[in-house]
Every structure is written in C-alpha cells, then in structure tokens.
A = this chain, B = another copy of it.
Amino acid sequence: MATTKTGAPLDRGTLDTLLRRRLFYTPSFELYGGVSGLYDYGPPGCSLQANIVDTWRKHFVLEEDMLEVDCTTLTPHEVLKTSGHVDKFADWMCKDPKTGEIFRADHIIEEILEARLKGDREARGETIVEEEVTDKKRKKKVKDIKAIKLHDGVIQEYEGILAKIDSYNGEELGKLIVDYGITSPTTGNLLEPPVSFNLMFQTSIGPSANLPGYLRPETAQGQFLSFNKLYEFNNLRMPFASASIGKSFRNEISPRSGLLRVREFLMAEIEHFVDPLDKKHVRFPEVADNVSLRLLPCAIQELGKTAIVEKTIGEAVKEGMVDNETLGYFLARIQLFLKELGVDQEKIRFRQHMPNEMAHYATDCWDAELLTSYGWIECVGCADRSAYDLTVHSRKTGEQLVVRETLEPPKVWEEWDMDVDKKWLGPKFRKDARKIEEAVAGISQEERERLSAVQKAGGKVVVEVESLGSVELEKVTITKNKKSINVREYTPNVIEPSFGIGRIFYSLIEHIYWSRPGDEARGVLSFPPKIAPTKILIVPLSSHLDFAPIVTALSAKIRRAGIPNKVDNSSATIGKRYARNDELGTPFGVTVDFQSLKDGTITLRERDGMKQIRGAQDEVIEVVRGILDGDTTFGDAVTRFGEFQGQELDE
C-alpha cells in the first residue's frame, strides 16, 4: 500500500486532482480533446521542474566540472541506424482486427493473466486489495474480474510467464496469445499476431524528403558523436564526463500512468568516459564509507526474492557486487542527489539488472527505483556501457574515437627479427619469393630463437613453405632487438547515469505529500524550501487600499534578495489562502497586517508546523535566505524571535 509522507494511506485520486487543480501538470491540448502521453507543466510544475534541473546541474555538472552540451533533438536516420535504435528500439503491438484498437502485446498478456489470477483468488474467497503496490505501473484495461477458480498447475504457469514477461520476443508473445486465449478486453475479439512498432517519431529533414530523421529517443548519441571535440576541449585529459539536459521522445503504443510513461519528456544524462583498464574514481573515497545504499543485487532477484541489502558503497564495490569504483561513485552521488530533492530515503532502492535484461555490451547496470502508488519506478538508470557506442560510430564513419595515452615510461620489450636477404631471395625464387617472406613472417618468437641457435651452431636454417615444402634460407640474419611503444591507444568505456526528470518529479511529489490530521481533503506538499516552486507567499490580511503599496514594495524587496515570491491578494479568507498555499508547497507565508502598517514588521509562517514568528522585514528576509542557503532552520528562528501567536484565524 502506498503511503504519504506521514505514513497514512495515499489516495492517488485525491492527489491527482490536487496536482491538476494547482496546474502542476495537465493533459496537453485538453481544449482539443487531449493527446495521450503528452502533458503541459503549469506555473508550479514548471518552477519545480526548473529547480530539480538546477539542483541536478549544480550537483553533477558544476561539482564535477562536467562538459555540458546541448545537441539537437532532430537526428538523421543514419546515426540511429548505427546506434541500433532503428532496428531494436521497438515494442510489440497487437491489433484488434475488427475495431483497429491497438494493444502493447506484453502489457495485454500481463493484464489478462493478472486479472485471471485475481478472479481465482476471489473464487477462493481471498480478500483482494484494490490498489496493490506492485511493480506494474499501468492503469488496468481489464475492468471486470470474473471469479473463476483455476487449476493449481495453471496458476504456476501464469506466475512463471508474468515473472519473465519482459524477456519474450514477438514470436513468443504471439504464441502466448494463442495458447492462453488472450483476446481484446474491450470486444473479446481475437488479436492479430504481434508486429514490431518502432518507438521513434519519424520525420523528414529539409525540403527534398531524402533525409529521413527521427526525434531522439535519448540525449546520449549527440554526446558520443562529440567525443573527439570534448576530449580535445578537456586538454586531452582522461577521464572526463559530458552531460546534457533536454527533451527526448518515445512514441509509446498506449501511454498510461500520468507522467511515468509519456511521449515527450525531459532527460538529464551523463556520459562519463573512462579508461577500460582503470575504472577507479579519484573522489570515490569521499563516498565509500559515508554513503549507504539500499541494494537489490541480481543474485537475490535470481532467487525470486526482493529483499533489500543495505551496505556502504565502499563495501558493495569491494565485494564485487557493484562492478567498479566509477559506477559505485555515481550510485552514491545519485543517492545524495535524490536526498537533496527530498525523496523519502526509505522509498529508494538500487536494483541491479539481470544479465538477460542488459544489452549484450553492458558490463553492469543499476536502476535507482522510487516507491510510489504505481510500484517501484525506475527513475535513474546507471549503466556501464563498455566501449559499444564509440566503437559502432567509429566503425560506421571511419573516424577514430580513441584516446592516445603517452606511456611513461614507454613499454619496452625484446623481440627476434629475421631478415632474409632480398638480393638472394628474389633472383632465386622469383614469383615464389613472396610465399617465402610470408612464411618467415609467420614464424613464432620461440622458433626464431631456436633457429638462431641452430645458425650459431653452424646448422642450416630451414623453413616450411606452403606448396614449396622445406626451403633452406641460405642468406638470413637472425637478431634479438629492443622494441618500445610510448603511446597506448584505447576506446574509452562509458558509464552512463541517465535521469528521467518527469518520473523523479512525480515520485518526489508522492513522497512529500500528506494531509493535515482531521482534514484529509486538505493536501500539503512539503517540498524542501530549496526545491519548492515558490518560496514565500505574501498575504495581506485586508484588501484595504492602504495595504497595496507596502505589499508591492515588500514583494519587490524579497525578489531583489533573490527569493521568488507570490502575492495572494484575493478576497478568500486567510485560511483558504493558506490551504491553497499548502497545496502549492510554498514553505513560507508572510502576512502584512495592521501592525505592519504601523511599524513595518511582518509575520513569517512555516508551512509544515504552522508556527509563526514576527520581525522586521529585513530580519525575516534574512531568516528565509539563511534557510534556503542551508545555514539555519526555522526552529532556530523561533528560538531567536519567539513564537508569534497574534492572529490565529480560521485555519
């Protein structure tokens, strides 16, 4: 069961209504009937999103001196053909041949089997919890559950299928549909066999229609293609990371679950380029013992369990659960980032990908998942993609995407060289001379050493040559020479932390949402002050004209102090205005009352505890500034100013 910040059961319907009413986000193009999978962010959502992005930029890009780039969303066909997206970035869909309705094949099988299992439990008289917390993130299409008991063997089969529903290919999904009689839940019609549907939005670049392109499905490709430029910009120093924040697009077959599965979304991605032979991270010691993670490694999942192991990232890397330091460093940094946003620490887990879940080239991959009313939601992926991306683009374009490392000291070794006298070889063997040269080139170091000894002992140097048989090399010099290389060339590996901003946005809201005891209809969004869309609501206690100038001046003053604020001079009661404000998650309320007109003082109210203090304008602004900067707390301010209890109104 999903819970609110205070541990009460979370009623998603009430929260959804709040988020729409307060314009956090709303379906796009509602006036035209809406388009599923597209959402607009209203003023508080837009500001919250900007604050999440800003925190991300400071936490990762500035803190680690990453090279941020902004590449285009329009991407020509060839690039995404090379990356594998044209061939593989697809889902399987089934059509109802009579109505044309389209279903995502794995989803429809999953839902129907789950509905049957539920019907079975009902038939057996078990209690059904309506909104179960499962890993399933979708709105149910199967509305009416029939209470029919299943054979125990069938139940096992169903559960087996559901456990690996993500791993079937199209043919297998088609077979399941036939074998288990999966039909359209809307019409009961048989479904057509699954066909592959590419999830990229296609378009055409330029007027001549000969340059097909797509909207990027991720921001990564632009970063890979910029590798050489960025490496040079970084003064040829390794390792380094690029980063990018931008929109990506996926043409989902049937988007559901609000912001969790949409067709257009904001991503923030990091590509950390690293030496494949040295995945240590210079700042790993800063987190090794200080950051504990709740981990769900694949070894536990393979046992069919979901028990979480809590340990420091230092331990996890040391014992090999997490593949390397750099990957581990980023997992720890992701955890710290989510904490800074206000995510509930008990509702985070890092789930390792199962070997069959990962791309063949990936070394290790962990998802940061957040627990919501839709189940555990993948919000950040963190994969070691090895050298795959740079290698495929390099092979396709013929441009080297490599690092050349000067070896100090140079790598030095000894080698036997065999030098056949060409003046002897040519005239004697003519067109067969090349065959002999090739044979000599193929002689191993050990054999050369043996032949040298033979020669020194006065023996003949005889080699076997294909189609010529044994040949005596009458004029050959065999010597041992020193060799050295002072440049090592390698294709960097890529560690990729990839953030779905919309998913984090939504999960965070579920984590910090609660209602005041005794007033369940009144929601509160307890964003940390730094993350909150607006910081201060200014509330004049009277609509008297005398209040207008002081309110305007105060708002401007707070704004000049760099603190976003809003004035609510509506005619609603102060209680209603505070309630509206709770729903917007504004951490502080400032009232301008009759006392303010006399002595310029104002009150400051903290959203969660609803306590107030009273002080001069500059003092109050100073307090809020200090809290936003993390230098002080509201509790400190109450100690300093004393609690103000002047106007207890109709809260």
Contact = CB atoms under 8 A, between A and B. Distances in A.
Contacts of A102: 207-208
Given A62-B559, A63-B559, A40 B70 contact: yes
A566 B204 contact: no
Nearest to A41: B70
A207 B57 CA distance: 35
Interface in A58-73: 62-63, 65, 67-73
A69 B559 CA distance: 20
A45 B28 contact: no
A47 interface: yes
Interface string A243-260: 000010101011000000
A39 B71 CA distance: 7
Contacts of A206: 36-37, 251, 253
B205 A203 contact: no
- Count identical subunits in the complex: 2
B28 A46 contact: no
Given A93-B207, A102-B207, A31 B397 contact: yes
Interface stretch (A228-236, A311-319, A350-358): A228-236
Interface stretch (A74-82, A377-385, A517-525, A634-642): A74-82
A253 B68 CA distance: 30
B75 A29 contact: yes
Contacts of A215: 203, 215
Contacts of A57: 50
Nearest to A568: B235
Contacts of A43: 67-69, 230, 233
B205 A202 contact: no
Contact of A570 (B22, B29, B75, B235): B235
A26 interface: yes
A207 B229 CA distance: 38
Nearest to A222: B40
A429 to B, nearest CB: 47
Given A67-B43, A230-B42, A79 B249 contact: no
Given A205-B251, A211-B35, A568-B235, A41 B29 contact: no
B32 A263 contact: no
Interface string A11-43: 000000000001100101111100111111111
Contacts of A233: 22-23, 42-43
Contacts of A197: 207
A69 B42 contact: yes
B40 A71 contact: yes
Q: Which residue of A50, A253, A559 has the most chain B CB atoms within 10 A of its CB atom? A: A50
Interface centre among A69, A202, A399 (most CB of B within 10 A): A69
A57 to B, nearest CB: 8
A397 B33 CA distance: 9
A644 interface: no
Contact of A264 (B41, B72, B566): B72
A564 interface: yes
A603 interface: no
A388 interface: no
Contacts of A568: 235
A35 B203 contact: no
Interface in A88-121: 93, 100, 102
A448 B393 CA distance: 86
A7 to B, nearest CB: 31
Most-contacted residue by chain B among A23, A207, A247 (CB, 10 A): A207
B28 A222 contact: yes
A226 interface: yes
A225 interface: yes
Contacts of A201: 74, 203-205
A372 interface: no
A258 to B, nearest CB: 14
Nearest to A82: B32
A491 interface: no
Contacts of A28: 71-72, 222
A49 interface: yes
B211 A78 contact: no
A555 B29 CA distance: 47
B253 A207 contact: yes
A254 B208 CA distance: 11
A483 to B, nearest CB: 28
Contacts of A78: 32
Contact of A32 (B41, B79, B570): B79
A38 B72 contact: yes
Nearest to A567: B65
Interface in A553-596: 555, 559, 564, 566-568, 570
A40 B208 contact: no
B100 A208 contact: yes
B202 A74 contact: no
A397 B32 contact: yes
Contacts of A30: 225
29 contacts: A26-B229, A28-B222, A31-B399, A32-B76, A32-B397, A35-B74, A38-B72, A40-B70, A40-B72, A40-B226, A42-B230, A43-B230, A46-B68, A46-B69, A49-B70, A65-B567, A73-B247, A73-B264, A74-B264, A100-B208, A102-B208, A201-B203, A203-B203, A204-B251, A205-B263, A206-B251, A235-B568, A237-B570, A247-B247
Interface of A: 22-23, 26, 28-32, 35-43, 45-47, 49-50, 57, 62-63, 65, 67-76, 78-79, 93, 100, 102, 197, 201-208, 211, 213, 215, 222, 225-226, 229-230, 233, 235, 237, 247, 249, 251, 253-254, 263-264, 393, 397, 399, 555, 559, 564, 566-568, 570
The 9 closest A-B pairs by CB, nearest first: A41-B70, A235-B570, A40-B71, A43-B67, A46-B68, A201-B203, A38-B72, A46-B70, A203-B203
Given A43-B69, A72-B264, A205-B263, 12 more contacts: A23-B233, A31-B399, A39-B72, A40-B72, A42-B67, A65-B567, A102-B207, A202-B203, A203-B203, A207-B254, A235-B568, A235-B570
